[in-house]
Structure 1
């Protein structure tokens, strides 16, 4: 489980601009049309995202309740956790007693613990904008095909989508994931790039996933040139999900102007609060090992749970997971909205 060293940066979460009726239409017609006028100019960066767990969308992102189990007035909060050492190698073999959990700064007794891999639903969104022509699209297809065919389990499920200035779901939830290998082969790069809109458009699909966890992988090699939603808006919206976010950033310094290269600060805003990470790769050829590292992490996570009797009043609760061994680092989401179950 040794992780290969790579250029890594932090990350963050995202926010949402509703834009009136247009946003509601976006969700109703996600399989066909997501947005019309695409004029937004956003700092250039190249990245791919992975969202672990699920988020729920009702016009805007609603707080997720999937990771919260309600028993009368007692709520069990579940937290997927990744543990690494100081060399960023994945650590397995820990027990419940190795962890400490804090909600709003108060210690919480860990009442549930598992180090077993649970089934995962993985959505794949591939950038097919004009900037992906040539080797980038070839390498991205190859990395995702291998991810589907060899790195996921037969008990998992997946969907496949593509986006330029218009996100599309090509194949809905399907099991086993290996049956989806090659489904992106006919997509030809053209048009602009609406990365943020693609993330929003995947919401209804992620809401309908059928496995214990869910992941969304978005691969892109260019700036967001066509979204209606900004980074700030996306960050705030994602704060209402329990999703891990990973970013794989292609930073080809010799081929891109400084203004078009990866923006580490933006990626930190997206991945850090979620418990994920950002990895910078220098070539699209590095996408395959980067996606393998993500699969290894999915296979090595712990799940912690604690019971709370605090009212589920919709407020934001901060979370912190700590490993007692100071040579180890725990990564988990930094908070959740205490949302009551739907009646």
Structure 2
């Protein structure tokens, strides 16, 4: 019967280019409630936000605890707490306005505008633009109108300091008190003018609790662009987010997919077998066991965490 409900959910949402599985009604659970979270360690409880999609990259909601398997440094753990999230978001738009974006700047504006259109009143936003250097154009605010106006006025020119822009955005995100945080980087993938290195940004991202979605607009295929596109993909994967390549006709769907994912994450909680407070990095693996009648599903999660240290 549950499989039938899943199929109905797939059909109902197919027209919107996404998958949504309506959860079955169930009695009150005796499982402990867990706080919403980005990946973090609370005492001996590790909380792992997880996003699930199908083979067409459409978000899947409505799964239950039994559909997940979780491993900490290759050792399977018992999932002791489980929840789904739907709460306000802090979202930073990181927008490439360098010279290489001159022909695709209208697409970039359209992508940014789509995210603002699907905002909730409790959400927070900020805008970072970058060319030869990054600029915090609009600090953290719930007023989307100011960001929309600024994006429409953006002009292209200069080199590309993509890594420095991410540093600036991650720093601005620290001001938000929201527990759900994400950056959306919109760029053609160029990187040629940052002071910070890829290894330095990766170290900062690894220690942060911010999802980084990357949206590639009008990607070039020279060596510089391939380097930047590879970095964008790596950063998205590290945080458990996605790297999207989007033409102008796909921007609305891409923005909607990201919004659905952010508002429908699963949170898995477990107490590790090994609880040494040594500050070491632990790698996490999550597997999805699809309900009967549903095809292969893919999970996305932050790849690891640092244990607390005394």
1:68 and 2:36 matched:
no
Please, which of 149, 155, 170 is the counterpart of residue 122 of structure 2?
A: 155
Deviations 1:205-251 (A, max 9, x none): 11121212101112122511211223343333322223333322234
1:180 and 2:147 matched:
yes
Please, which of 282, 292, 302 is the counterpart of residue 317 of structure 1?
A: 282
Three-state SS of the structure 2 residue aligned to 1:188 is coil
Specify the alignment match of 2:164 in structure 1.
Answer: 197
Specify the alignment match of 1:142 in structure 2.
Answer: 110
Three-state SS of the structure 2 residue aligned to 1:117 is coil
Q: Show the 5 A alignment for 1:28-67.
A: 67=39
Give the superposed CA RMSD: 2.7
Specify the alignment match of 2:132 in structure 1.
Answer: 165
Three-state SS of the structure 2 residue aligned to 1:212 is coil
Specify the alignment match of 1:210 in structure 2.
Answer: 177
Change (3 A) 1:113 1:257: closer
1:225 and 2:192 matched:
yes
Specify the alignment match of 2:7 in structure 1.
Answer: none
Say if 2:108 and 2:217, in contact at 8 Å, map to a contact too.
no
Change (3 A) 1:314 1:257: closer
**Whose relative contact order is higher, 1 or 2, with alpha carbons under 8 Å and at least 6 apart?**
1
Question: Normalised by the size of structure 2, how large is the TM-score?
Answer: 0.77
Say if 2:86 and 2:263, in contact at 8 Å, map to a contact too.
yes
Could you tell me how far 1:319 is from its partner in structure 2? 0.7
Specify the alignment match of 1:124 in structure 2.
Answer: 93
Give distance in 1, aligned partners of 2:56 and 2:185. 26
Please, which of 292, 298, 301 is the counterpart of residue 332 of structure 1?
A: 301
Three-state SS of the structure 2 residue aligned to 1:279 is strand
Please, which of 237, 244, 263 is the counterpart of residue 272 of structure 1?
A: 237
Three-state SS of the structure 1 residue aligned to 2:150 is coil
Could you tell me how far 1:285 is from its partner in structure 2? 5.0
1:293 and 2:254 matched:
no
Specify the alignment match of 1:243 in structure 2.
Answer: 210
Three-state SS of the structure 1 residue aligned to 2:215 is strand
1:113 and 2:82 matched:
yes
Q: Which has the higher helix share?
A: 2
Give distance in 1, aligned partners of 2:185 and 2:237. 17
Give distance in 1, aligned partners of 2:224 and 2:213. 20
Specify the alignment match of 1:304 in structure 2.
Answer: 268
Question: Normalised by the size of structure 1, how large is the TM-score?
Answer: 0.71
Deviations 1:137-192 (A, max 9, x none): 222223212311x2221111111121111211122111254663223233322211
Say if 1:113 and 1:303, in contact at 8 Å, map to a contact too.
yes
Could you tell me how far 1:292 is from its partner in structure 2? 2.4
Deviations 1:292-314 (A, max 9, x none): 22112212221122234713321
TM superposition outliers: structure 1 runs of 4+ over 6 Å: none
Change (3 A) 1:87 1:219: closer
Shifted more, 75-84 versus 324-333: the winner is 324-333
Three-state SS of the structure 2 residue aligned to 1:111 is strand
